[in-house]
Amino acid sequence: MSEKPFTGAVFYEYLNEHKLMGSRCKTCGEVHVPPRPGCAACAGSAVEWVEMSGQGALAAYTVIHIAPTAMIEAGYDRNTPYCTGVVALAEGPRISAQILDVDVRHPETIEIGTPLEIAFIERGEGAARRTYLAFRPEK
Ligand SMILES: [Zn+2]
């Protein structure tokens, strides 16, 4: 298992490889995503990298019409809204991500608890290319 530092930078390195990684406490088993160098549950400092299954459920969501700059550059605006949500991962942690393939024009059709699977979005060119975390309803 990798012994890379448990930092956000390494988390995004893994994301670029299409891996959603977290840290798991060797003492109590608590999983943190993004990773933490120590355990928030038991204050233990022995943690290891663990890859998430990519399965989860929608815990909360909002449809964004006034997009931040990065999302405007990605093609979203007042007329092209997008959904961002909180995903409860099968392993326990919650993480925010863009939610794809939901009807953003009819947000009332988006249901809390919807089973989701991981998706990866590539944005940017060349050195600016980055992978962004997203989820979509399970097929
Ligand atoms: Zn712990």
Same domain, 62 and 119: yes
Tell me the pTM.
0.91
Same domain, 73 and 104: yes
Domain count across the chain: 2
pLDDT band at 94, cuts 50/70/90? very high
Long-range interactions of 102-109: CB distance < 8 A, separation 24+: 102/61, 102/136, 102/137, 104/63, 105/81, 107/61, 107/63, 107/83
What is the whole-number distance in angstroms between the Cα of residue 86 and the centre of ligand 1? Answer: 23
What is the whole-number distance in angstroms between the Cα of residue 117 and the centre of ligand 1? Answer: 27
Same domain, 97 and 72: yes
Same domain, 85 and 130: yes
The pLDDT tens digits of the residues spanning 10-65 come to: 999 999 999 999 999 999 999 999 999 999 999 999 999 999 999 999 999 999 99
Regarding predicted confidence, which is higher, 54 or 127? 54
* Residues with CB in 5 Å of ion ligand 1: 25, 27-28, 30, 39, 41-42, 44
What is the whole-number distance in angstroms between the Cα of residue 52 and the centre of ligand 1? Answer: 17
